[in-house]
Amino acid sequence: MGYNVAIDGPAGAGKSTIAKLVAKEKGYIYVDTGAMYRGLAIHFLKKGVDPEDKKAVAEACKDAEVTIGYENGIQQIYLNGENVTGMLRTEEVGNMASKTSAIPEVRNKLLDLQRSLAKEKDVIMDGRDIGTNILPDADVKIYLTASVETRAKRRFDELKEKGEDCSLEEISKDIRERDERDMTREIAPLRKAEDAVLVDSSNMTIPEVVDAICSYCR
Ligand code: DC
């Protein structure tokens, strides 16, 4: 069994940024499970599947294979053999992933992949249900959150930097909707595991969050 660190929390809390830095500092492999849901979301978008049509989504899962690999230590997502890593981080893909991740067939499709990675390797894995569902016996569990305002502002700055046109209000609305969906779905909703450490990064710098989390890890 590998040494396992689980980081869960809402969209935009900085999980991936922080987890990557902790992975580097501690020599763990970073596993981004949201990217796996996004990989499947690309499959649904390509096929024109309606995310509200649970049967159609379940059916479409049958001809999708998501696998992961690493190039220079960076996680790559393959959808039916095609590297789709560069296509994952758009709002359209994120929304499709948020909607379809509530469907049992979608979650089951990715469960074994996530568990087998943690079994073989020392990992820091981020997502929504890692501490509560995927790795209930993780060595360290962190629930990383921040206020909606902080998360929206971070996302806004990130998009502006990329030169994308966006509105802070739209982003805040999107984050609230995604929180609502991720936290109220029937299976594996986002919640803090009882034995997880709560880290609210609203008023913390990135190095402060990394140090705080590293202090709990081996
Ligand atoms: O972390 P992210 O924004 O890349 O995740 C995209 C969506 O995938 C998110 O809205 C909810 C879903 N997700 C999930 O249900 N369970 C996970 N472990 C990770 C992500």
Q: Read off the pLDDT of residues 19-58 as tens digits, 9 standing for 90 and up.
A: 999 999 999 999 999 999 999 999 999 999 999 999 999 9
The residue whose CA is least distant from atom 5 of ligand 1 is 34
- Ligand 1 centroid distance, CA of 25 (Å): 24
Note the maximum CA span of the chain.
Answer: 45
Residue 162 pLDDT more than 90?
no
CA distance 181 to 186: 10
User: Quick one: what percent of the chain has pLDDT higher than 70?
Assistant: 100
3-state secondary structure 105-152: HHHHHHHHHHHHHHHHCCEEEEECCHHHHHCCCCCEEEEEECCHHHHH
For the CA of 94, the nearest atom of ligand 1 = 6
- Ligand 1 centroid distance, CA of 206 (Å): 21
Q: Is the Cβ–Cβ distance between 64 and 80 less than 8 Å?
A: yes
Q: Please, which residues bridge with residue 40 across strands?
A: none
For the CA of 16, the nearest atom of ligand 1 = 1
Q: Name the average pLDDT for the chain.
A: 96
Residue 71 pLDDT more than 90?
yes
Q: Is the Cβ–Cβ distance between 213 and 22 less than 8 Å?
A: yes
pTM confidence score: 0.93
Region 158-173 average pLDDT: 92
Residue 197 pLDDT more than 90?
yes
Residue 164 pLDDT more than 90?
no
Per-residue pLDDT tens digits for 123-133? 999 999 999 99
Per-residue pLDDT tens digits for 100-136? 999 999 999 999 999 999 999 999 999 999 999 999 9
The residue whose CA is least distant from atom 10 of ligand 1 is 98
Residues with CB under 6 A from ligand 1: 11, 33-34, 37-38, 94, 97-98, 101, 127-130, 178, 182
CA distance 191 to 91: 23
For the CA of 134, the nearest atom of ligand 1 = 18
